[in-house]
Structure 1
Amino acid sequence: MSGEHKRMQLNNLLQRSYGTHALTWATNQTGPQHSTPWTAVAYINGVEYGRGSGWTQGDAKEQAAGLAYPALYHQIYNRYP
């Protein structure tokens, strides 16, 4: 899986299997904006599939998507990508 496009790959898998509204994000940053990392959680149909952190919101979502994608893929196809 490409390191730059994990969210896109997750979205593509979701569109084929669950539709476009299955994925929701929860993002959080605590502390000063200039020095606190973001946390992002990927929820699919209300179930947490991946959690990541990074210095930007996008980085945190990429990391969470990188964990969510293989878990969802395994659930759908009963094997890992």
Structure 2
Amino acid sequence: MSRYTIALNNHYQSRRRLHAVTWAEVQSGPPHALSWTMTCKVEGEVISTATANQKGVAKEEAARIACERLGIN
């Protein structure tokens, strides 16, 4: 986990909403050039989506967008 993913998780854990944040992942493209799309959901509502060549990078970008939209530092 990276900075924004941790910030998002900590925000909800501190409010005792441990399972509020969930992730959906989709991979696409040929095996030698996979693309990952990660979707961040908070209490079932889609907050952000990001796509990158690496799963972790896509997740961190989706977390960054989510933090920005939700006002989480």
Question: Shorter-chain TM-score: what band?
Answer: 0.7 to 0.9
**Deviations 1:7-42 (Å, cap 9, x if unpaired)?**
001111111235110111010111213202100000
Bigger relative contact order (CA 8 A; separation at least 6): 2
Please list every run of 5 or more consecutive structure 2 residues that lacks an aligned counterpart in the other structure: none
Query: Among the aligned pairs, what percent are the same residue?
Result: 33
Verify: 1:36 aligned to 2:34, yes or no: yes
RMSD, matched Cα: 1.6
Aligned residues: 72
**Where has structure 1 moved over 2 Å in runs of 4 or more?**
none
TM-score when normalising by structure 2: 0.85
The 5 A counterparts of 1:2-81 are: 4-17=2-15, 19-73=17-71, 81=73
TM-score when normalising by structure 1: 0.78
| Distance in 1 between residues matched to 2:66 and 2:57, nearest whole Å | 14
Say if 1:50 and 1:18 are closer, same or farther in 2 by CA, change over 3 A.
Answer: farther
